[in-house]
A and B are shown apart, each in its own frame.
Chain A
């Protein structure tokens, strides 16, 4: 499976949009991009995933570039409770595989 690279940390002002980038330059055509987050002392939580089209749900939006080599997770109006480590991973669809996480981006939302 393709590996991902993310910035180690980011800050965002409360109420502003948080844009978290992820590079996955070796992604294969059948690999999805997934985002999870882990709030301190809790298990990771699924946020969103996509293949090639942009996706939006109640938590966030996912923007995938046309060449699929990178993506951006957007939290439109960040709150203090969005402070967490955000993980971007890629997974092959429809076959047995593991699910390995990188170091993620530590997002700190500041008042």
Chain B
């Protein structure tokens, strides 16, 4: 595709429900990153994929958060039993290879837990 695509762009969910956020990276990009950005805050690193594997899951805030990537392309971030503090913009980025190439970001999914 032309850029990194995230869906949905906005999601309102009730506390306790599960949500799935989707990221379609740029075609051919092997590295994929997930971040969380709370209102007025910086980018909090969540997880990084190289191909389908995630070398570092230490950024996931709790065991309610999980992510997977299949076919080296689409990734989903799942939040189980959502809490109000999960409300944030979730951003995805991809790059051609890890390391010294630029990363391209999607426009994010704004999650609101009510």
**B42 and A101 form a contact (CB under 8 A):** yes
Interface flags for B45-75 (1: CB within 8 Å of A; 0: not) read: 1001010000110010000000000000000
Q: Count CB-based A-B contacts (< 8 Å).
A: 64
CA–CA, A25 and B46, complex, Å: 25
Say yes or no: B98 contacts A95, CB within 8 Å.
yes
Q: Which of A13-21, A76-84, A86-94 contacts B (4 or more CB under 8 A)?
A: A86-94
Q: Give the size of the chain B interface in residues (CB under 8 angstroms).
A: 25
Chain B hits for A101, CB < 8 A: 35, 42-43, 45
Q: How many residues of A contact B (CB 8 A)?
A: 27
A43: nearest residue on chain B (CB-CB)? B105
- The answer to whether B1 has its CB under 8 Å from any CB of chain A is no
- What separation, in Å, do the CA atoms of A32 and B106 have in the docked complex? 23
Residues on A lying within 8 angstroms of B by beta carbon are 32, 34, 36, 38, 42-46, 49, 51, 85, 87, 91-104
